[in-house]
Amino acid sequence: MKEFLNILLLGRGGREGALAEKILKSPRTRKLYTMPGEFPGCHHLPGSSLDFDRVAEIVGDYEIDLVVAGPEASIVAGIYDALSGLDVKVIAPDSDAARLEGSKEFAKEFMISHAIPSPRFMSVTSDTLDEGLSFLESQTPPYVIKADGLAGGRGVLIVSDLDQAKATLTSMIDGLFGESSQTVIVEEFVPGPECSLFYAIDGEDYIYLGSALDYKRFEDGDQGPNTAGLGAVSPALCIDKNPELIEKVEKRILLPTIRGLKEEGIDYRGFLYLGLKEVDGEPVMLEYNVRLGDPESQVLIPRMKSDIIDIFEGIADRTLALKQMELSPIHAVGVVLTAEGYPDNPRKGDTITGIQQARNLGCSVYTGAVSTNPEDGAILTDGGRIATVVGLSDNPSDARNLAYKGVNLIDFYGKYNRSDIGL
Ligand code: GLY
């Protein structure tokens, strides 16, 4: 890979904001273009990260050396494949490899084929709905019901009542998430906190990037509907205080995954994160994600001391064996602010104030679904997850206090956040 790079970063969420900040810190970054997100210090390009013709045009017009794809939607839709004829490196697994996230049925079958410990499940379609309903009856509550395809982080429902679980399964099959829920996975529930472990993979070798814990439910105390994530902390103490568990994850989950991919002729190069729980000292694999997490990236990336371009290079040139990631032992707590109406129907167009004040206090603020008013430059809400406010400190409680002080400085109509992130 060239020494100095023009980089195009796709996506517009807080994850991409954290990536942009980190990419800009690299002495190897010549210019950083972002589409469609607008982040400080970047050259913003309008367009959609799913418009691959436009991405290819930009690669040519702006002499882009490296494309970094943040969102799963672009990766699963095949951004790697779409750019494969061009003289550009792409940080994303190809669409074949991305099925690990793009189809939960594929992922579950992959886990079974490669003896990766994971909960019992049944895959249900309209032809097997009756068997699916009987499978639910054979389970104990709560019931885990997952849309097979991507659903913006909302496709996993955990339901405590059997009748409601049956109604949920039926409505998913009837099209609750469109094509994404034509197939539905009903899975045995595994108790306990879900931790995320992040890796970079170059087809052969891997580097552990660190851990995070994501708060997926909408309300305090892990109640309410599942969301794409309303807060995160890094490190996840359940992982980092337990090196034996990390070893078991690598031996029982990560290495069998890399071997299994190779056996199936799948060349996996990119980020991979494992969502798992610990049961009786053993890791149980819940899901693969073929990218960095959001909001987990906003708490993980600020802890990275190494140059992230080195990691991109390792992935793209299959040289991860020569690389390493140095992580700061600092703690990061990130609190997500959401718009009125999130997650069902977020309201747009409200003016956001206080972001700079929160930054002045020492918080990192990564904006997500926002836009800029062209008339006065005001930042407006433009979707569900508006921003993540991150506090960093030597100890978790100071990091949490700092994050919440920053949260209190930011305001917009209908602002909502959980109050128990990092507790
Ligand atoms: N926070 C979960 C995700 O990125 O999918």
- Spacing, Cα 305 to ligand 1 middle (Å): 23
Edge-to-edge strand ranges of the sheet holding 370-372? 351-352, 379-381, 370-372
Cβ(296) – ligand 1 distance below 6 Å:
yes
- What distance in Å separates the CA atoms of residue 341 and residue 116, rounded to the nearest whole number? 39
pLDDT in tens, the chain (423 residues): 999 999 999 999 999 999 999 999 999 999 999 999 999 999 999 999 999 999 999 999 999 999 999 999 999 999 999 999 999 999 999 999 999 999 999 999 999 999 999 999 999 999 999 999 999 999 999 999 999 999 988 899 999 999 999 999 999 999 999 999 999 999 999 998 889 999 999 999 999 999 999 999 999 999 988 898 999 999 998 898 899 999 999 999 999 999 999 999 999 999 999 999 999 999 999 999 999 999 999 999 999 999 999 999 999 999 999 999 999 999 999 999 999 999 989 999 999 999 999 999 999 999 999 999 989 999 999 999 999 999 999 999 999 999 999 999 999 999 999 999 999
- What distance in Å separates the CA atoms of residue 321 and residue 198, rounded to the nearest whole number? 16
- Spacing, Cα 288 to ligand 1 middle (Å): 10
Residue nearest to atom 3 of ligand 1 (CA): 293
Q: Where are the alpha helices (DSSP H) in 191-348?
A: 237-240, 243-249, 255-263, 296-300, 308-317
CA within 13 Å, CB half, 338 = 22
Cβ(21) – ligand 1 distance below 6 Å:
no
Q: Which atom of ligand 1 is nearest to the CA of 292?
A: 4
Cβ(37) – ligand 1 distance below 6 Å:
no
Residue nearest to atom 4 of ligand 1 (CA): 293
Please, which residues have CB within 8 angstroms of residue 311's CB and are 6 or more apart in sequence?
A: 200, 207, 209, 320, 323, 325
- What distance in Å separates the CA atoms of residue 372 and residue 379, rounded to the nearest whole number? 5
The confidence score (pLDDT) of residue 342 equals 95
Q: Which atom of ligand 1 is nearest to the CA of 293?
A: 4
Q: pTM of the full predicted structure?
A: 0.96
- For the chain, give the number of residues: 423
Cβ(228) – ligand 1 distance below 6 Å:
yes
- Spacing, Cα 74 to ligand 1 middle (Å): 15
Tokens of 293: 């997490």
Q: Which of 146, 154, 195, 214 to mutate to test the pocket of ligand 1 (most atoms within 8 A of CB)?
A: 214
- Spacing, Cα 6 to ligand 1 middle (Å): 28
The confidence score (pLDDT) of residue 344 equals 87
- What distance in Å separates the CA atoms of residue 171 and residue 203, rounded to the nearest whole number? 39
The confidence score (pLDDT) of residue 225 equals 87
- Spacing, Cα 154 to ligand 1 middle (Å): 10
Q: Which of 74, 289, 335 to mutate to test the pocket of ligand 1 (most atoms within 8 A of CB)?
A: 289
Domains of the chain: 5-92 (3.40.50.20), 121-187 (3.30.1490.20), 191-322 (3.30.470.20), 331-409 (3.90.600.10)
Cβ(29) – ligand 1 distance below 6 Å:
no
- What distance in Å separates the CA atoms of residue 60 and residue 65, rounded to the nearest whole number? 10
Please, which residues have CB within 8 angstroms of residue 119's CB and are 6 or more apart in sequence?
A: 144, 187, 188, 189, 190, 284, 286
Cβ(14) – ligand 1 distance below 6 Å:
no
Count of C-beta atoms within a 10 Å radius of residue 28? 19
Q: Which atom of ligand 1 is nearest to the CA of 295?
A: 1
Count of C-beta atoms within a 10 Å radius of residue 156? 17
Q: Which atom of ligand 1 is nearest to the CA of 296?
A: 1
Cβ(294) – ligand 1 distance below 6 Å:
yes
Please, which residues have CB within 8 angstroms of residue 401's CB and are 6 or more apart in sequence?
A: 391
Cβ(289) – ligand 1 distance below 6 Å:
yes
- Spacing, Cα 293 to ligand 1 middle (Å): 4
- Spacing, Cα 100 to ligand 1 middle (Å): 14
Cβ(229) – ligand 1 distance below 6 Å:
yes
Cα–Cα separations (whole angstroms), residue 72 to 139, 160, 236, 288: 31, 29, 23, 11
Tokens of 207: 């580097």
Please, which residues have CB within 8 angstroms of residue 167's CB and are 6 or more apart in sequence?
A: none
